[in-house]
Amino acid sequence: MDNINSMKSVRDKTRGLTNLWLFESNKNSKRFSIRGDTDFAQLVLLEGDVSVRSYDLYPIVVRNSPSFSAELVPLALVEYNDGAQKYIQCVEKESNLKQEVLKYNKNVEVAHGYYYELISNVQVWSNKILIDNWIFLSSVIARAKRFSMHREMQLAVEAIIVKKITITLEELLNIEGIDPSLMLGAVGLLLQRGAIHADLETELFSYATVMGAERNG
């Protein structure tokens, strides 16, 4: 069986003709260097996915058959809260590698590996507003977590979860005695953990964003 170094493969394929992103992953407590806009956007979506526990960027893959395509180069190995794990890869045209993935997944249990999922660029960029929101929320969490958010977290939990009321971001930021930057970080963490909910898919996160303990719709 052969090993694939995903990061090396990405470098070889891109030849430096792509954007390089530095990203602070709050789910992994690491700073990542990511090549390509779509791959970066997909990782941002993982940060906001409440079902995702963590992910390993550019993992080394053990091929489970001689026919394993060199084009199967995963972006990440994703671990979910229920313990499941799978490889993901962003592709220009999903159909080009579909058969390779079917062959890989057919043998994955025999090889004691992880299932593989292709995510098309169209799928990723259909979530533009969600991506923008989690870029912002990831940044405010990263800045705030260097300090104690205990008071702000306590007040946000009390207002939204304990009292079970809906409240706007502006109302939370206007609570007397809080640090607005830390409250933003606390709200971001609560959204990331799925403890509170807001419409992040169709509206940009703003002072007018309404948050509650229950998901609307």
What pLDDT does residue 4 have? 37
**112 with 175, same domain?**
no
Task: Answer yes or no: is 19 within a domain.
Answer: yes
- 24-34 mean pLDDT: 95
**112 with 144, same domain?**
no
pLDDT digits (tens, 9 = 90+) for 73-102: 899 999 999 999 999 999 987 677 888 888
**101 with 145, same domain?**
no
Domain ends where: 106, 125, 144? 125
**105 with 9, same domain?**
yes
Q: What residues have CB less than 8 Å from 75, skipping those under 6 apart?
A: 6, 39, 42, 43, 57, 58, 88, 89, 90
Above 80 in pLDDT, residue 215?
A: no
What pLDDT does residue 113 have? 73
Task: Answer yes or no: is 71 within a domain.
Answer: yes
At residue 62 the predicted structure's pLDDT band, cuts being 50, 70 and 90, is low
Domain ends where: 125, 157, 188? 125
Question: Of 47-56, 89-98, 103-112, which gets the smallest average pLDDT?
Answer: 103-112
pLDDT digits (tens, 9 = 90+) for 189-211: 999 999 999 999 999 999 999 99
- More confident: 100 or 30: 30
- If one counts the domains in the chain, the total is 2
**109 with 142, same domain?**
no
**113 with 195, same domain?**
no
Task: Answer yes or no: is 217 within a domain.
Answer: no
- More confident: 85 or 60: 85
**91 with 186, same domain?**
no
Question: What domain range includes position 158?
Answer: 128-212
Question: In this prediction, what percent of the chain has a pLDDT beyond 70?
Answer: 85
What pLDDT does residue 138 have? 97
**51 with 120, same domain?**
yes
Task: Answer yes or no: is 205 within a domain.
Answer: yes
- Looking at residue 112, which CATH number applies to its domain? 3.40.1350.10
**55 with 154, same domain?**
no
Q: How far apart are CA 136 and CA 167, in angstroms?
A: 20
